[in-house]
Amino acid sequence: MKKHTICRLCSSCCPVTAYIEKGRLISAHRNSDLPEERQLICPKLKAAPDIVYSPRRLSRPLLKDRDTGFREASWDEALDNLAERFLFFKNTFGAESVCWLRGMAADWGAPWDYVNRLMNTFGSPNSIGNGSVCHVGRELAHTVTYGAMTMPLTSGSRCIMIWGKNDTDTNPGAAENILNAREKGAVLIVIDPVKTLMAEKADIWLQIKPAHDGLLAMAMINEIISKNYYNASFIEKWTTGFEQLSKAAEPFSPEKIAGDIGLDPEMIREAARLYATTAPACIVDGNGLDMQLDTFDATRSVCMLRALTGNLDIKGGDFIPQPVRVRNIQLRDRIPGHVQPITRDYGIFNNFHETWGRHVQSCLIDAILDEKPYPVKMVVSQAGNPAVTMMDANRVKKAFEKLDFLVVIDMFMTRTAHMADIVLPASSCFEKTQLNRAFIRNSPVRIQDAVIEPLGDSWPDWRIIFELGRRLGLEAEFPWQTAENAINYQLEPAGITVEMLRDHPEGIRADETVFRKYRTSGFNTPSGKVEFYSGQLSSAGFSGTPYMNGYMPHPISFDDRKDSYPLVGISGARINRFTHTQFHQINSLARNNAGCVVDIHKSDANAYGIVRGDMVRLETPRGWIQMKAEVNETVPPGVIRIAWGWGDIDPECSLNRLTDDERRNPVTGTPSGRTFMCRISKIKDSSSTTDLHAPTISMEKK
Ligand SMILES: Nc1nc2c(c(=O)[nH]1)N[C@H]1C(S)=C(S)[C@@H](COP(=O)(O)OP(=O)(O)OC[C@H]3O[C@@H](n4cnc5c(=O)[nH]c(N)nc54)[C@H](O)[C@@H]3O)O[C@H]1N2
Ligand SMILES: Nc1nc2c(c(=O)[nH]1)N[C@H]1C(S)=C(S)[C@@H](COP(=O)(O)OP(=O)(O)OC[C@H]3O[C@@H](n4cnc5c(=O)[nH]c(N)nc54)[C@H](O)[C@@H]3O)O[C@H]1N2
Ligand code: SF4
Ligand SMILES: [Mo]
């Protein structure tokens, strides 16, 4: 039997067709219009049955007894215990001492609404997402500039500028569209310190010095303005602050900054010219811009390029999405006015969106360890592995050890779950029905539909949240017994039901696509125009136009200590077999731990006497890890790329033991998980290294 759903094994949310036999998932295929031989393969999806039926899946709630360790428990016992703890901490320290922390897999916008509703009605403003390191900071930069985060319409584009995004490995459907447009003759510009597949295919590849994108964007703005490549009529009618932007860009001529960012000024000029004079053009921005200390102004200056050239909301340009009219069910107004979230220092980021909520996850660690602005005593970690994925992992570990109570909701026994007092087994994405954020953000809306029953005694996240809500006395707020009831309630304003969505697996269009919507409704900013200068930011004490007061000093962590830490370390590729710390224990994907390496340029390898396969030690002021070396020309000299995501199976390969969480972007609270100064030394010859050490904990179930 064939069933349609959306894959959530990573955040790309691909529509897929699942094949089911006797209630078992046999295989799943990504929907694509291309003939099979031209489709990019997603190994994770291919391995979906191995993941879903892994013997390592958690299937019963686990409670930790101080002396004897974990024991299995019934859902009733686990949830009663959990509700009791919620109420205990509320009565003893205030509801805000309880924090809910979401990870990548918790989905935004839809099931995440349930958590926000639960926490808001319980009385804690602290449901915290990880958007400060993922794309939500970027979404803020887009939103303050032109009211919403745009979507690049690569299919109809004549010029595609890929800026810190590697769709080939992270979003195969999007990569196929780019490759197709390229074949049809679109100009391709890639800005990436790493030689990606797209970089190899590009007309211009700007191998930028990591973390210096803001300088490059300002140099391009400088070039576009000084050569009059900009779209004067669009600017005159639909933007404010062009004067301020022109002034801010003056000091950033390509000649002046090229040396600082490792590029040739002529290439910067040519990239600016091509982008600004080939229409329509779009910019595919990605996580290479996020997770950087200077993320906000860097991303914002990239946004300005879209507006300067008038490429906003046109076919083949950067589309302003048409969100599906869903009901806002978060009940934010239930939080008493005097209760501030732990992220209170990031007011603009907290409040820029009706439903996004709060995302500066680092504030949680401050609240636990430093008790600032007040102590957090209990954390529920849902669909994330923060012990490994948050910056400065040693500090995160200390914080979780200090907590009075930790609850983890996951499918697997992760490093974070090992530290928990209660572990609740979650159903996988193929076992639950939910509204998917990618498909309410823009029409058409699609349903992520359960294709098999929950495995073992696992529960879908929505059911855990609803049942917990009822145990907290919130029956009126959580009246729903099924996911369908809750989704229908949320979808009511759009006039769409789950039944209708099941009848239309291709999605239901709530509105016809309209381009240049600003002509009738303006932009969703305070002035109704694109804001090259933001009064809102300026009043809050930030630069009204990017870099109006100069460039951020030391945008790379530990840059002030480069005498002892001379190499730029960057966070490694998101290999298409894994999602962050997930699936390294699935044999068909682990492939003998291939990819757990540090890439070093051959000239640096020579200088350090390192050959391929040597075991090397990497250090920063925060900690050390070790890995095997891979010698190549993927990264430029002076830069090393350190494999990402291996910390769950081996802490000695945990990249975030190296990263810093002390310095953060002032607007989005983003620490640099991506770029930091470090040092390397050889510890073992290639002749004596075997594969990555075996996982140091065995998580096989009895
Ligand atoms: N240095 C460095 N740090 C980074 C990054 C980096 O590239 N470098 N990337 C950053 C980014 S962009 C992100 S988004 C974060 C990701 O950070 P996390 O979200 O912590 O990362 P994952 O390892 O994907 O953890 C997801 C967990 O959810 C579980 N899970 C999967 N599906 C479900 C489900 O349906 N329900 C529940 N309850 N659990 C489920 C998985 O088993 C897994 O343990 O890491 C960030 N940290
Ligand atoms: N296979 C797989 N797919 C995933 C995930 C996964 O873990 N594995 N995670 C999902 C999640 S949560 C996210 S957020 C997305 C992210 O997906 P992407 O946005 O594609 O993010 P990355 O692949 O981390 O990085 C993108 C590119 O930025 C480059 N880069 C690094 N530093 C810099 C810099 O300083 N400047 C510039 N211009 N570029 C730089 C990197 O070399 C890389 O090629 O992927 C999602 N999809
Ligand atoms: S890229 Fe692969 S794992 Fe990610 S959603 Fe798409 S099919 Fe699933
Ligand atoms: Mo992410």
Residue 36 domain-assigned (yes or no): yes
Among 52, 71, 90, residue at a domain's last position: 52
- In percent, the amount of the chain with pLDDT more than 90 equals 92
313 and 189 housed in the same domain: yes
Which residues lie closer than 8 Å to 174 by C-beta, 6 or more apart? 12, 154, 167, 284
Residue 145 domain-assigned (yes or no): no
639-694: per-residue pLDDT in tens? 999 999 999 999 999 999 999 999 999 999 999 999 999 999 999 888 776 655 44
CATH number at residue 44: 2.20.25
Residue 513 domain-assigned (yes or no): no
Quote the ligand 3 centre to 17 CA distance (angstroms): 12
- Residue 110 pLDDT greater than 80, yes or no: no
For 331-355, give one letter per residue: b (16+ CB within 10 A) or e. beeebeeeebbbbebbebbbeebeb
Best of 112, 130, 201, 287 to mutate for ligand 2, by most ligand atoms within 8 A of CB? 287
Number of domains in the chain: 4
User: Is ligand 2 within 6 A of the CB of residue 580?
Assistant: yes
Give the Cα separation of 433 and 421 in Å (integer): 28
Which residues lie closer than 8 Å to 203 by C-beta, 6 or more apart? 187, 188, 189, 274
Give the Cα separation of 611 and 595 in Å (integer): 16
The phi, psi pair for 15, rounded to 5°, reads: -65, 130
Tokens representing 652?
Answer: 């000695």
Best of 6, 9, 41, 429 to mutate for ligand 3, by most ligand atoms within 8 A of CB? 9
Give the DSSP H or E segment for 386.
Answer: helix 386-389
Going by pLDDT thresholds of 50, 70 and 90, the confidence category of residue 105 is confident
232-282: per-residue pLDDT in tens? 999 999 999 999 999 999 999 999 999 999 999 999 999 999 999 999 999
Give the Cα separation of 603 and 637 in Å (integer): 7
534 and 607 housed in the same domain: no
Going by pLDDT thresholds of 50, 70 and 90, the confidence category of residue 409 is very high
Residue 510 domain-assigned (yes or no): no
Residue span of the structural domain in which 613 resides: 559-701
CATH number at residue 290: 3.40.228.10
103 and 9 housed in the same domain: no
According to the model, what pLDDT value does residue 390 have? 98
Tokens representing 522?
Answer: 């303006």
Give the Cα separation of 432 and 5 in Å (integer): 10
The phi, psi pair for 41, rounded to 5°, reads: -90, 140
84 and 196 housed in the same domain: no
pTM: 0.97
Atom index in ligand 1 nearest the CA of residue 673 equals 1
Give the DSSP H or E segment for 679.
Answer: strand 675-684
Residue 360 in contact with residue 349, Cβ under 8 Å? yes
DSSP 17-78: EEEEETTEEEEEEE--SS-GGGSPP-HHHHTHHHHHT-TT---S-EEEETTTEEEE--HHHH
The phi, psi pair for 276, rounded to 5°, reads: -80, -20
8-31: per-residue pLDDT in tens? 999 999 999 999 999 999 999 999
234 and 373 housed in the same domain: no
95 and 181 housed in the same domain: no
Residue 438 domain-assigned (yes or no): yes
357 and 436 housed in the same domain: yes
**DSSP type of residue 624:** E
Residue 459 domain-assigned (yes or no): yes
- In percent, the amount of the chain with pLDDT more than 70 equals 98
Give the three-class secondary structure for 409. Answer: strand
Residue 13 in contact with residue 438, Cβ under 8 Å? yes
**Distance of CA 620 to CAs 523, 561, 680, Å?**
44, 10, 9
Looking at all shown ligands, the one closest to residue 200's CA atom is 2
328 and 439 housed in the same domain: yes
Residue 557 in contact with residue 253, Cβ under 8 Å? no
182 and 202 housed in the same domain: yes
Query: Which residues line ligand 1 at a C-beta cut-off of 6 Å?
Result: 103-105, 130, 133-134, 287, 382-386, 389, 409-412, 414, 426, 428-429, 461, 571, 579-582, 644, 655-656, 659, 673
